Structure 1
């Protein structure tokens, strides 16, 4: 399968990827080049120094700093499965 073409068609979409060694990743496709794909994987960690239970100047109840994303580079040769996942806000 031509994973480069599939990744280009799924750019900026939430996908799941299974690698040949059994690892599973889910995230947004952030970058595609000739060798692999880069996923932006969301995490539940808040920005450094911020916590959900502390109000600071400029923040009010119900508004918290955005989630952080970690980048993970995956070469096309290591991908065994790629599929779209539903994303709900």
Structure 2
């Protein structure tokens, strides 16, 4: 697909709109990688005591962030797809 890895906007039949990079396309779905700067709500898998966070590189406020999260959208729900400008 010519739009793979392009930044696009998608509107769906239920009135929602999504913007992100097209990460994957198969017969039934489009998968968008949607950018985010939100932190994880929980620190799952982290050491039990805060004093040990630093030795593992997870000092409070500096633990890994998820930069993109996937959103699968069925082809049947897509009513519009348009390219968006993306600047670094």
Q: TM-score, normalised by structure 1?
A: 0.68
Distance 2:74 2:26 in 1: 10
The yes-or-no answer on 1:36 pairing with 2:35 is no
Deviation at 1:74, TM superposition (A): 0.3
Name the Cα RMSD after superposition.
2.0
Residue 57 (structure 2) aligns with: none
Residue 74 (structure 1) aligns with: 73
> How many pairs align?
69
Question: Which 4+ stretches in 1 moved above 4 angstroms?
Answer: 46-49
Is there any run of 5+ residues in structure 1 with no aligned partner, and where?
A: 1-7, 50-55, 57-64
SS in 2 for 1:15: strand
Q: TM-score, normalised by structure 2?
A: 0.68
**Where do residues 13-52 of structure 1 align in structure 2 (5 Å cutoff)?**
13-46=6-39
Deviation at 1:33, TM superposition (A): 0.3
2:3 to 4, 7, 10: 10
SS in 2 for 1:9: coil
Query: 1:43-86, CA deviations, whole angstroms, 9 ceiling, x for partnerless residues?
Result: 0225787xxxxxx8xxxxxxxx7761010000100000000000
